[in-house]
Amino acid sequence: MASLLHLLLQPEKPRDIALMLCELITNNTHNNNIALYKCYNADKVFYRKAAFSRWGNKVIENEKKGYDWFYKDSEPSINTRLKKKYFYELDIPHFKGKKFSIESVISGNEETIGRIIDFYKCQWSTKDVFAIHGDLALCNFIIDKENIKLVDWEHFHYSDKEFFGYDIINMLFILIGHESKRTFRLNKRNMDFLKKCYIQLIEGAGNNNKILEKPFQNAKDYLLRFKDRFLTNVYKKFVLAGSPPSVLEHFDSIVTD
């Protein structure tokens, strides 16, 4: 009894510091105050986003909301874990599948882009509450034959269903930029493909849609009007924010004519 009491009264011995093997993938991209690590814990691999300021905490907490919104009711269930220390950490599972470069272009990815538009129409129309991913780009998808996984929900926010299509138009504009090497001049094949994408997307839109009449111009308007919702400096992060109206009008006419 005495020894038990002695044991209980003793201060708890600190646990050994877990020396998990980690790779720092990115740090403070677009001044987000967040580092992304790939962690190897025994045979388990996962990703960890760690904040390095209170602003980073805010962004990570928002990202968690995005994951919860998107993977709610998903099968199999996707568990992300938010640890609220002084600086927040979000553990994200490692998804298996094909990953895409940050510089991905249209040519050669047409089938995948078509699949993503179908996926968007299906996923975004079945949710109770509409939301915007905010940075839907090919590099944020992990795709295999059966599944499409979407990561990087830092700019997630709830929105009105009238803005259905914003994410896809933003993705197409990023692809246009990479395909044309920032000249915004595309060949006929690419332009025909863009039109096809637009037709595919508009089939899922409601009558009161506020994006798809002039998709690129309206998407930019949305981005600038609601820039505070994106939790970043949209002018530095999104090429759409700084694009001249003439370029956007040009692409609007290509897809809507």
| Site residues, another protein (CB under 8 A) | 12, 14-28, 31-35, 37-38, 40, 48, 50, 52-56, 85-87, 227-228, 233-235
Least Å distance, CB 240 to another protein, is 16
Least Å distance, CB 11 to another protein, is 9
Q: Please identify, using beta-carbon distances, which residue of 15 and 145 lies nearer to another protein.
A: 15
Q: Please identify, using beta-carbon distances, which residue of 77 and 101 lies nearer to another protein.
A: 101
Question: Which H or E run includes 158?
Answer: strand 157-158
Least Å distance, CB 248 to another protein, is 21
Q: Please identify, using beta-carbon distances, which residue of 214 and 220 lies nearer to another protein.
A: 220
Q: Please identify, using beta-carbon distances, which residue of 74 and 233 lies nearer to another protein.
A: 233
- As beta bridge partners, residue 93 has 46
CA distances (Å), 174 to each of 46, 135, 230, in order?
Answer: 28, 10, 17
Least Å distance, CB 131 to another protein, is 19
Q: In 21-57, which positions are buried (b, 16+ CB within 10 angstroms) versus exposed (e)?
A: eeeeeeeeeeebbbbbbebeeeeeebbbbbbeeeebb
Least Å distance, CB 192 to another protein, is 33
Between β-strands 21-27 and 34-41, what pairing exists: parallel, antiparallel or unpaired? antiparallel
Q: Please identify, using beta-carbon distances, which residue of 190 and 232 lies nearer to another protein.
A: 232
Phi, psi of 23, rounded to the nearest 5 degrees? -115, 130
